Amino acid sequence: MSETTENPIREAIADAINDHEVILFMKGTPERPACGFSARTVAALEATGARFAAVDILPDPRIRQELSALSNWPTIPQLFVKGELVGGCDIVVEMYETGELAEALGVEQPAEAAEPAADAPLSIENRLN
């Protein structure tokens, strides 16, 4: 495959990453995650109380292909903060457990939130499709 600037999907992904301070690329939606790894990542994010945008990569396989090419990261979910890849499920959950996630997101982690709650209130700033 050759690198080209004529790549509207990759450009749309890059724009979405740049336009949203916190954006999660996942399988399914925060309300209905389609994969356990995406569900755990959403739960950790919601437990911090931070607002985030979410993109479902499932509707078009090219989204995942272009996202991974852009981020140099092979798996889904992928969390970006301020334009930078923070990590996938393992890193996000680990950062939640150490308190680093709230810090990276610029929020105060609720003290009572010992575990990411699957039924935490939704705080979706934006939804892209």
Question: Which parts of this chain interact with other proteins (CB under 8 A)?
Answer: 37, 64, 68, 72-75, 85-91, 94
Of 33 and 87, which has the nearer Cβ to other proteins? 87
| Residue 97 beta carbon to other proteins: minimum distance, rounded to whole angstroms | 12
Specify the long-range contacts of residues 60-64, CB closer than 8 Å, at least 24 apart.
60/9, 62/9, 63/9, 63/13, 63/25
Of 90 and 115, which has the nearer Cβ to other proteins? 90
| Residue 121 beta carbon to other proteins: minimum distance, rounded to whole angstroms | 27
Of 70 and 85, which has the nearer Cβ to other proteins? 85
User: What is the SS3 assignment for 89?
Assistant: helix
Burial class of residue 9 (count of CB atoms within 10 Å of its CB; 0-12, 13-18, 19+): middle
